[in-house]
C-alpha cells in the first residue's frame, strides 16, 4: 500500500496512527487485465484507489458505443460517486486496462470517516470539488474545442497514459472515432509535432 499510504499521509497530512486506523478498514486487491469491478445496474459500493496498474470507467450507449468517462492510473481514485451517494444503480462499467493492484475502499467507510474526522471530510470535499472542476473542464473542451485541440489537451495533461492506453480508448475518451484520432495524429506528425518522449 505504499502509494496509498503516501497519498493519505504526505498529501493529506495523516499521521502514522491515523493512517493505521484507515488501513485496517480497507482491503488490498489485485485483478487481471480485462476484469470488471463494476457493471451497470449494480450499486457502486466502493471506491478504488489504484496502487499499480490502470483502471477505467465507461458507459455503453443505446447504439452500443463505448464512451470512456475516466482513466485511473497509479494514485487515482475511481468510482461512481452518484451511484454510491444516491444509492442508485450505476450506468458505468469499471474494468482493468492493465493487471491492477488497488485498495478497495468501502463507501460507507468514507461517509463515516467524513462524519468523525474534520480533516478527512475536508479532504473528501476537496476531492469532490476537484471532480467538479475536471468535469467542467471536459464540458468546455467538448463544447468549444475540435478534435485536434482535445487531443493536444489530453497529451499535455496525461502524457503518461499516451504510452499505456490503446489509441481507440483515447479516441473514446475524447468523444471522436479512432479513425479521426488517427488522422489528427497524422496531421500533427506532418506539422512535425512530437510528444516530448519520442
Task: Provide the binding-site residues for DNA, judged by CB under 7 A.
Answer: 146-148, 166-168, 175-186
Q: By C-beta, is 52 or 81 nearer to DNA?
A: 52
The enclosing H or E element of 106 equals strand 100-106
Cα distances (angstroms) measured from residue 120 to each of 28, 32, 111, 141 = 20, 31, 10, 32
User: At closest approach, how far in Å is the CB of 189 from DNA?
Assistant: 8
Cα distances (angstroms) measured from residue 39 to each of 15, 49, 180 = 36, 18, 29
67 binds a copy of itself (CB under 8 A): yes
Helix and strand numbers, DSSP H then E, in the chain? 8, 8
**Stretch of residues binding a copy of itself (CB under 8 A), selected from 6-14, 98-106, 126-134, 185-193:** 126-134
116 binds a copy of itself (CB under 8 A): no
64 binds a copy of itself (CB under 8 A): no
Contact present, 57 and 68 (Cβ < 8 Å): yes
Count of residues touching a copy of itself (by CB under 8 A): 28
CA dist., res. 127 & res. 119, Å (int): 12
Residue 36 binding partner per list a copy of itself, DNA, none, with a CB distance cut-off of 5 to 8 Å that depends on partner kind: none
11 binds a copy of itself (CB under 8 A): no
Amino acid at each position: 500500500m505504499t502509494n496509498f499510504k503516501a497519498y493519505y499521509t504526505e498529501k493529506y497530512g495523516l499521521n502514522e496512527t491515523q493512517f493505521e486506523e484507515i488501513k485496517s478498514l480497507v482491503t488490498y486487491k489485485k485483478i487481471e487485465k480485462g476484469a470488471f469491478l463494476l457493471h451497470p445496474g449494480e450499486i457502486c459500493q466502493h471506491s478504488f484507489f489504484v496502487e499499480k496498474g490502470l483502471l477505467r470507467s465507461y458507459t455503453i450507449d443505446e447504439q452500443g458505443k463505448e464512451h470512456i468517462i475516466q482513466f485511473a492510473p497509479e494514485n487515482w481514485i475511481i468510482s461512481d460517486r452518484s451511484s454510491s451517494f444516491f444509492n442508485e444503480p450505476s450506468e458505468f462499467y469499471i474494468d482493468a486496462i492493465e493487471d491492477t493492484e488497488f485498495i478497495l475502499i468501502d463507501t460507507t467507510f468514507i461517509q463515516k470517516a467524513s462524519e468523525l474526522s474534520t480533516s478527512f471530510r475536508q479532504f473528501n470535499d476537496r476531492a469532490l470539488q476537484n471532480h467538479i472542476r475536471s468535469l467542467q473542464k471536459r464540458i468546455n473542451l467538448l463544447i468549444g474545442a475540435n478534435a485536434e485541440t482535445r487531443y493536444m489537451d489530453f497529451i499535455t495533461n496525461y502524457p503518461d497514459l499516451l504510452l499505456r492506453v490503446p489509441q481507440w480508448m483515447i479516441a473514446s475518451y475524447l468523444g471522436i472515432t479512432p479513425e479521426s484520432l488517427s488522422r489528427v495524429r497524422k496531421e500533427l506528425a506532418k506539422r512535425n509535432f512530437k510528444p516530448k518522449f519520442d
